[in-house]
Amino acid sequence: MALIVQKYGGTSVGSVERIQAVAQRVSNTVKAGNSLVVVVSAMGKTTDGLVKLAHEISRTPNRREMDMLLSTGEQVTIALLSMALQEIGQSAISMTGAQVGIVTEAHHTRARILHIETERLERHLQEGKVVVVAGFQGISSTEALEITTLGRGGSDTSAVALAAALRADFCEIYTDVPGILTTDPRIVPEAQLMDEITCDEMLELASLGAKVLHPRAVEIARNYSMPLVVRSSWSDQPGTWVKSNKQQERSLVNLEIARPVDAIEFDPNQAKIALLRVPDKPGVAARLFGEIAHQKVDVDLIIQSIHDGNSNDIAFTVMTPILKKAEAVAAAIAPVLRSSKAKSEEAEVLVEQNIAKVSISGAGMIGRPGVAAKMFATLAEVGVNIQMISTSEVKVSCVVDESDCEKAVTSLAQAFDITTSPLPTCLSPLSASLPPVRGVALDMNQARLAIRNVPDKPGMAAKLFGLLAQHNVSVDMIIQSQRCHIINSTPRRDIAFTVARIDAENTQKMLTEAALEYSWGEVVLDSAIAKVSIVGAGMAGQPGVAAKMFEALAQHQINIQMIATSEIKISCVVEQEQGIKALQVIHEAFGLAGSEKFVVPA
Ligand code: ASP
Ligand code: MG
């Protein structure tokens, strides 16, 4: 007999008939010998409707009253589902978040779960009842009894947190799609259903998967090793399992970690190779990394920032032992990649042996503007200069001098309150058996900003991203590459990053003023960009994955404007008009397309 937590989303409980169908499925699961806690969302688009009502009354509705209002949606569903269960002879009881004792922070409309009291729930389960719990809500404390909500889409988080607190066998998320797909089926109808994905991959695919599964829910599942499955409530298809490695036992207090960063990783044995002044045109990255893959050299970080005139720099890191081989490949290809006929303009190869990679990672950094800034500020305080920066959804990696590595790691562990010892980046033993690319995502809602000629000295990135955080601007991709200009005898570098398009113009204005004050160069904005990313835990340690992605783009004459990577993700910025094409050809190149077209539910 298993203890299962099932969660049904808004569409799955959108009408009386659907609630009855859910009751049937719940009752069948109990008859098969299981104990069940069921978490439900508000019916259909109820929550949207309530938000709209509030805005008809007030332009800036009070947050406490907002929680009071929005939490009613789920309360309707729990009562109706319990009645439907009782109607078919299954004893059931509904409970609000407060009745269960889902205790959260006192932040209205975006509370995080602190802990869950399980005694009441367990008592009802022992009496053979199905317990139907309102998702998305909690209380600030058992004395204050203030109703809080977890933020839109938060019922997934309620479900996985309950599963963790009850030590359930697994958690099922029922929704209106059959599981997690390799990409967005509205753009690529040949997208296929995945059988499984790891939590880490799922988090990196947040822009693809966030609508299906709340990232906070994935984070809890990962931290408590809670098996999770996303399935359709219209069928008996097995769905997609979201898996995690076994983690060390974690306390159930402060269940949703209050910390935005949960690990610090480093690799002191890296070397950096940069190709300077390669032409800014389609096919260059493909050619370079194609040759590197051909020689079976495994690259780690790849970083390309915005172009400078009609040329670009591409930098990458490798493990020190294979440096010689990588360097030979880069040197051999450099003359071929020249940007003009003049010998002096020939691409130049720069090698630096003694560098280290230091990274912070954690799902809590999604949507929190200050996390990267805090990393940069911490490094600046101890005088560490950041040579290159590459970010992904849940990771920020900095390339620093090898002699700074220890200092960097120690200060970051302190700043982010990480008590577990920082880990040398190592590949999970599983990764070799995992597919190199699990899914492909496209983000068309970002704009690119770049600041030219920022002095290359400690504290500059900290200042820049500190300013952005102060203005509450969430930054997605951050790229600082190799290129260095000497102006008035100070070396200067460009720093590029992407922000939500709606924030772009104001951010440019704000930074232009700051640039004057700090004597940075021009602040350039390009709103017409798209970001395509591939994600797969199996790509680490497998040469040729990046090359294949770049080659697919080159074949279709798509120019890569910027590149940033993490161990399990590669993102390219391309021109916005080519975004959809880019997604399609990459998806195809990795053989992810199925033979049948996926029918998007209405
Ligand atoms: N009803 C809430 C919302 O629409 C929570 C949820 O469904 O997950 O955001
Ligand atoms: Mg949802």
Percentage of residues of the chain with pLDDT beyond 90: 66
C-alpha triplet 526, 528, 529: angle, nearest 5°: 90
How does strand 3-8 pair with strand 35-40?
parallel
pLDDT at 339: 55
Cβ of residue 501 lying under 6 Å from some atom of ligand 1: no
pLDDT greater than 70 at residue 583: yes
- Give the pLDDT confidence score for residue 210 in this predicted structure: 74
Residue 281 confidence (pLDDT): 86
Range name among 50-54, 210-214, 548-552 with the lowest pLDDT average: 210-214
What mean pLDDT, rounded, does the chain reach?
Answer: 91
Q: 525 and 449 in contact (C-beta within 8 Å)?
A: yes
Tokens encoding 576: 């916005």
Instruction: Please report the pLDDT score of residue 59 as a whole number.
Output: 94
Closest CA to 549 of 336, 337, 288: 288
Residue 7 confidence (pLDDT) above 70: yes
41 close to ligand 1 (CB < 6 Angstrom)? yes
The answer to whether 178 and 13 have CB atoms below 8 angstroms apart is no
For each of the domains in the chain, give its residue range(s) and CATH number, in order of start.
3-175 (3.40.1160.10), 263-589 (3.30.2130.10)
At residue 345, the pLDDT reads: 62
592: nearest Cα among 442, 441, 443, 438: 438
Please tell me the predicted confidence (pLDDT) of residue 433: 78
Ligand 1 within 6 A of CB of 10: yes
In degrees, rounded to 5, the angle at the alpha carbon of residue 399 between the alpha carbons of residues 417 and 376 is: 45
Question: Closest ligand to 135 CA?
Answer: 1
Dihedral, 250, 255, 256, 258 alpha carbons, nearest 10: -80
Residue 428 has pLDDT above 70, yes or no: no
Band (277; pLDDT cuts 50, 70, 90): confident
pLDDT confidence of 599, banded at 50, 70, 90?
Answer: confident
The string of pLDDT tens digits covering residues 78-99 is 999 999 999 999 999 999 999 9
Which atom of ligand 1 is closest in space to residue 73's alpha carbon?
A: 1
| 525 torsion bin: left (phi>0), alpha (psi -120 to 50), beta (else) | beta
Atom of ligand 1 nearest to the CA of 156: 8
pLDDT band at residue 346 using 50, 70 and 90 as cut-offs = low
**H or E stretch at 475:** strand 475-480
Q: Which of 326, 321, 324, 279 is nearest to 302 (CA)?
A: 326
- Residue of 145, 128, 150 lying closest to 74 (CA atoms): 150
154-167 per-position pLDDT tens digit? 999 999 999 999 99
Is the beta carbon of 458 within 6 A of some atom in ligand 1? no
Q: Is 412 in the pocket of ligand 1 (CB under 6 A)?
A: no
Amino acid found at 176: D
Q: Which atom in ligand 1 lies closest to the alpha carbon of residue 155?
A: 8
155 lines ligand 1 (CB under 6 A): yes
The average pLDDT across 331-358 equals 78
| Whether the CB of 97 sits within 6 Å of ligand 1 | no
Report the separation in Å between the CA atom of 480 and the middle of ligand 1, taken as the mean of its atom positions.
Answer: 38
Residue whose pair of structure tokens reads 């395509």 in the numeric block = 532
User: Computed over its alpha carbons, how large is the radius of gyration of the chain?
Assistant: 25
